[in-house]
Amino acid sequence: MYVIFGASGNAGFATAAALRQAGRAVRAVVRDTRHGARLAALGCEVALADLTDLASVAAAMRGAQAVQMLCPVPVADADPEATMRKVIDVAAEALRADPPETVLALSDYGAELDANTGITRLFHYLEEQLKPIAGRLILLRSAEHMQNWRRTIPAALASGVLPSFHHPLNKRFPTVAAQDVGTASAELLLDAARGNGTRVVSIEGPRRISAAYVADVLAEIGGQEMVARELPREQWTPVLLRAGLSERHARLITDLYDVHNAGKIDVEFGMHERRFGKTELIEVFAPIVAGLRTEARLQGA
């Protein structure tokens, strides 16, 4: 049995689908029963779990040959760092009590850094907690997900201006489609030839991009003029607070982009096992823009 946490998300769903296509039994773990229908349609066993509750997480893992761990950053949480650390601690305790043959953790570029890297610091904590537990541990570190731009796209299409935390606008940085991360995860879980120990794998997309390139892609899809603009550093926190984030959540993001713009978030130096997704940015953005336009038409009808 392959147990996939976060199976309703883009990466987790892709992992579950690939494993089912390979004929493997999959238990898809979700936090809301409303997200289970399409996973059940794949032939997955669907389990409901509260990631902060040990009994719930342990029950979801029971009988697992392999577990894919995803520790999402909580949304609308006053203290997302404390909540995420609790989720990690609960997962680690459940794995210690009943360790599967393989644990794969979805992690981040820069997770090797023991420093103030904002959100990425929590993935460092995840990796450190799992290393002493799993006999066969795979750390799949991914670049920034292309889907993260979705929060910015509606305002950009409305104004013709794409605000960017990435400075400068021509700086090229790694990014990846979430579904490519999920597919790579399934391939790694199915690779039974590897022995025990910790295996670190990085994944990013087919090309590195810039904020200016993101604006060009949006202009092409939207059929309109689009310009990227650096969001001044002093505006980062106010913008995030207006978007509904708590002060502590906003700080995690601003700290991350500070180190990102300083060039410190990338593939770990000397790391040899690298993978590259095939999905281009335009393939991710096109359905997002189409969906937004459909919503606008329905609201205007």
218-274 pLDDT, tens per residue? 999 999 999 999 999 999 999 999 989 999 999 999 999 999 999 999 999 887 799
Q: Beta strand 136-142 with 197-204: parallel, antiparallel or unpaired?
A: parallel
Helix (H, G, I), strand (E, B) or coil at 230: strand
Question: Distances from the Cα of 231 to the Cαs of 15, 75, 164, 238, 267, in angstroms?
Answer: 35, 22, 5, 11, 26
Tell me which H or E stretch contains 66: strand 66-69
| Total-model pTM | 0.94
State the Rg of the chain over Cα: 19
CA gap 164, 66 in Å, rounded = 38
Residue ranges of domains in the chain, CATH in brackets: 2-146+176-205+266-277 (3.40.50.720)
Higher pLDDT, 297 or 255: 255
pLDDT tens string 173-210: 999 999 999 999 999 999 866 677 899 999 999 999 99
Q: Assess whether pLDDT exceeds 80 at residue 300.
A: no
> Which residue type sits at 160?
G
Q: In the prediction, which pLDDT does 205 show?
A: 98
Cβ atoms < 10 Å from Cβ of 207? 12
1 with 63: CB under 8 angstroms? yes
Cβ atoms < 10 Å from Cβ of 65? 14
51 with 61: CB under 8 angstroms? no
CA gap 201, 26 in Å, rounded = 23
The two three-digit tokens of residue 301, written as one number: 């009808």
Segment 20-27 shows an average pLDDT of 98
CA gap 35, 214 in Å, rounded = 30
pLDDT tens string 44-99: 999 999 999 999 999 999 999 999 998 888 888 899 999 999 999 999 999 999 99
At which residue do the structure tokens 């090229």 appear? 172
Q: In the prediction, which pLDDT does 120 show?
A: 96
Segment 103-125 shows an average pLDDT of 96
Task: Name residues whose C-beta falls within 8 Å of residue 227's C-beta, 6 or more positions apart in sequence.
Answer: 160, 161, 162, 215
164 with 229: CB under 8 angstroms? yes
Segment 169-176 shows an average pLDDT of 97
Report the DSSP beta bridge partners of residue 66. 2, 102
Report the DSSP beta bridge partners of residue 227. 161
Phi, psi of 74, rounded to the nearest 5 degrees: -65, 140
Q: In the prediction, which pLDDT does 194 show?
A: 66
Q: In the prediction, which pLDDT does 176 show?
A: 98
Using CB atoms within 10 Å of the CB of residue 203, give its burial: 0 to 12 exposed, 13 to 18 middle, 19+ buried.
buried
Q: Please, what sign has the CA dihedral across residues 16, 282, 162, 170?
A: positive
